[in-house]
Structure 1
Amino acid sequence: MVRILIVGGGVTGALCAHMIRRHLPTKVQCQIVVWEKSRGIGGRMSLSKAPEFKECSAELGAQYITRHSKYLESHKEFYKDLLDSNVIHSFKGEIDGFRGDNDTNFVCTNGLSSIVKHFFGKSFVEMCPNQRLESLRLVSDDSWSVWEASTTAGHHDHFDAVILTMPIPQILSIEGVKDKLDVDNVKDLESAQYSSRFAVGLFYNKAVLSEYSWAARYVGDSDIIRYIAMDHEKRGIPKSKTSSVVVHTSVPFAKSHLEEDAAAVGSKVVDELKRIIPGLPEPDYVKFHKWRYSQVTQSTATYGSLVCHSKPLLIVAGDGFTHSNFDGCVESALSIEQHITEFVKCGVN
């Protein structure tokens, strides 16, 4: 039995699981285990719900996926799969201020986390939430070698291969990872840079009708708010009894308040939203979230992924090696195909 651990329950992790499952020979028995530090899966595509009326939801992270013309051919199988499975559909509303006339935007009625669930579901993984990886240790003797993975809660397990898909600063903080990298690799990984944002979700236990033509808007006249979405309209949810509004801050504002409490910063964001949209009703519930690693502003020089150790296999992957969108995550996942194929061909040990 080959045991593979994927750390990170976001879209890159789901796509990596998909790549592994479709390339493993049928005769190879493989268990794919996923450790996710949060309660649910999705990563930056996660869906938030109001605690007292859970039928109301909002996307506080990624808002839609954009199929760039550059990847029309190379990634068409992934988009076709999602479209044929009715996971995604074309964005029907208006995005005021969107710059990408030749690109196509897609949304998920049930939230972009549906994409993550779709690929994990096809990969027959064992999902383990609330598992935060703390360290990796190589355990070996003359005939075999495996990775011993340990969580912050003290759980230990052994795997023939490990794939890390979190933001690169989190990867480098795991005990035992830097030990498997040379100086140039460490410098390359440390060169990756991310922007930060605060997100605020306003939840209404009633329908809130928008007076605007847009379902989402990029704001150009505020130092605090960069993006607003009427979330149910954006996702194309027909005549819902509940509704939600999502707000993302500007990068400079988030940078200047990054170490402050998310709720305290969020109250400033809500005040600014009321200025931009006067007459907006008081929400029934408000959720504040800090995205310390929101989008990649500078990726690594190594493209796609990096093999830190070949036997047993240790790979680091994610949008830090490409760019922060669905296509970037696909590119990173595609880059592990050859390594997984070679891993299987050469045998576990």
Structure 2
Amino acid sequence: MSLKVLLVGGGLTSALISSLLKKVPVACQVWDKARGAGGRMSTTRSPTNSNCTADLGAQYITATPTYQSKHHDFYNSLLSSKVLENMTCKVEGLKDFPEGTKHYVAPAGTNAIVKHFFAEGGHQLHFEQHVSAIDLQPDNKWLVRTKSGREEVFDAIILTMPVPQIFQLEGDVQDLLNKNSELTKNLKSVKYSSRYALGLFFDNNTALRNIDWDSKYLSDHGVFRFVSLDSRKRQLGDQPVAAVFHTSITFGEENIDKNGDEVKIQLLSEVKKLFPQWPEPKSVKCQKWRYSQVLEAYPETPGYVFISKSPPLLAAGDGFVHSNLDGCISSSLKTAEALKEILVQKTD
């Protein structure tokens, strides 16, 4: 009989673990509070033109020679499936990387990377399922509840949400954390940057045609750190243009608790100052990322931690390594291996 495993979170780490568990005799489900897969690899469509899309989270993938070799199978899977392509667009202000580093873009949007690995795993995906509580059952299993009232029992759980959100869960999971002061201290030491992303959808490919860059880092701007013409960044010259702005860490931290509509108005005003000649967009999306990139990872970057070994309850993700594709791959490899060892023992 296969054991039931729940992955909480619909982002990259869950997708990778799902893929790694595809040959393990488990009945795996993925629950996420959002309406679709992606997490911080978020691709958004214009409400007035479905062909106009923008990456509001991760922008492109950078792979150093070390990780190209270490994670070759993952990159080969993405490249052979055309989910990733070599980045050839013009990026102003791109910092220096080790010789041999490669940059990739996802032509269909960065959430295609997450969808690719979920498809490889072939497990059940359930969206709009906001996990609210985890309780231990007398038969040494986990009862998981959502805010909408769904309840289901699992043999093992892997939490892949940003680390601070673990402390928002109710039930016996909090009792476990309260009894392990060292684990709690280390989990609370994980820090993330906060940012806003602003997407301007122009819905045609001529609106910003005269700009001589595709993406640009703004090192000396007080609000924005990065701007990208998304279809051009993804090398889709004939597609409608969407412009994406990411704020600086400082602006994000100072404004993360403000009303989103107020911040959107402020950001649009800053765009007008930067690019007064731009036409009015057809639509606008302001995305708040309270947990953007990892600033301080879990001590000694183990890739995952056990909150409970029996029954298994693990926490994993970039907070236990570092923020990028390779950090999530590293976490996923270690997490999947740890879970496999426990599951083998349970089925013996």
TM range (shorter): over 0.9
2:306 aligns with 307
2:10 aligns with 9
2:204 aligns with 206
The one-character-per-residue Cα deviations of 1:186-232 (angstroms, maximum 9, x if unpaired) are 00000000110011100012222343332111102210111100000
CA distance in 1, matches of 2:168, 2:284: 32
Q: How far 1:40 sits from its partner (Å)?
A: 1.0
Task: Look up the SS of the partner of 1:209 in the other structure.
Answer: coil
1:220-239 equivalences in 2 (<5 Å): 220-239=219-238
Question: Which of residues 146, 152, 157 in structure 2 aligns to 1:162?
Answer: 157
1:262 aligns with 260
CA distance in 2, matches of 1:139, 1:348: 19
CA RMSD between the two structures: 1.4
1:257-336 equivalences in 2 (<5 Å): 257-301=255-299, 302-336=301-335
Q: Which amino acid aligns with 1:90?
A: N
Question: Which of residues 71, 85, 91 in structure 1 aligns to 2:87?
Answer: 91
Please give the TM-score of this superposition, normalised by the length of structure 2.
0.94
1:117 aligns with 115
2:51 aligns with 55
Q: How far 1:348 sits from its partner (Å)?
A: 4.8
- Whether contact under 8 Å (1:20, 1:340) holds in the other structure is no
Q: Which amino acid aligns with 1:104?
A: K
CA distance in 2, matches of 1:213, 1:53: 25
CA distance in 2, matches of 1:21, 1:156: 24
CA distance in 2, matches of 1:83, 1:147: 38
1:45 aligns with 41
Task: Look up the SS of the partner of 2:21 in the other structure.
Answer: helix
CA distance in 2, matches of 1:172, 1:19: 27
Q: How far 1:72 sits from its partner (Å)?
A: 2.4
The one-character-per-residue Cα deviations of 1:2-44 (angstroms, maximum 9, x if unpaired) are 111000000011001112224x1xxx3x221100101111001
CA distance in 1, matches of 2:130, 2:182: 27
Q: How far 1:313 sits from its partner (Å)?
A: 1.1
Please give the TM-score of this superposition, normalised by the length of structure 1.
0.94
Question: Which of residues 144, 148, 161 in structure 2 aligns to 1:149?
Answer: 144
CA distance in 2, matches of 1:53, 1:172: 39
| Structure 1: gaps of 5 or more residues | none
Q: How far 1:140 sits from its partner (Å)?
A: 2.3
CA distance in 2, matches of 1:127, 1:223: 41
1:101 aligns with 97
| Structure 2: gaps of 5 or more residues | none
1:219 aligns with 218
CA distance in 1, matches of 2:222, 2:295: 20
Q: Which amino acid aligns with 1:68?
A: T
